[in-house]
């Protein structure tokens, strides 16, 4: 079975500061890992994904995440926060291979203040 834990339901950073959103997963098979973002009054959009290959993946809007198998983590980072990054972020996992469905974490709401 798969599960996702996002540490911190709310994170607040200053504009220009590092953004770090934490995600740990459990999976009985090699996972596919995803980060989605939800802006106010919108559906979710894919930020980035890890399936196979390079463990550091880059996404849209300057975000990146690193798959660390030994730590079962897939933390999301951005070097310099922008006001427009304020949103809710969801980590998700699915098993690789064959038909699958995504399991989402509880979400982390990111606030960016001037």
Pick between residue 17 and residue 59 the one whose CB is nearest to other proteins: 59
Residues in touch with other proteins (CB under 8 A):
4, 6, 9, 32, 36, 41-46, 49, 51, 90, 94, 96, 98-107
DSSP 8-state symbol, 30:
P
Instruction: Provide the minimum distance between the beta carbon of 62 and other proteins in the complex, in angstroms, as a whole number.
Output: 19
Pick between residue 70 and residue 99 the one whose CB is nearest to other proteins: 99
- Six token digits for residue 87: 């949103």
Instruction: Provide the minimum distance between the beta carbon of 55 and other proteins in the complex, in angstroms, as a whole number.
Output: 17
């Amino acid at each position: 079975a798969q599960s996702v834990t996002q540490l911190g339901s709310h994170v607040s950073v200053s504009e220009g500061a590092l953004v770090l959103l934490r995600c740990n997963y459990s999976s009985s098979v090699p996972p596919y890992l995803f980060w989605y973002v939800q802006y106010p009054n919108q559906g979710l959009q894919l930020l980035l994904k890890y399936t196979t290959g390079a463990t550091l993946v880059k996404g849209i809007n300057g975000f990146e995440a690193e798959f660390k198998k030994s730590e079962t983590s897939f933390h999301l980072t951005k070097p310099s926060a922008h006001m427009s990054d304020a949103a809710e972020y969801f980590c998700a996992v699915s098993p690789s291979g064959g038909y699958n469905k995504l399991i989402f974490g509880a979400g982390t709401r990111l606030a960016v203040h001037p």
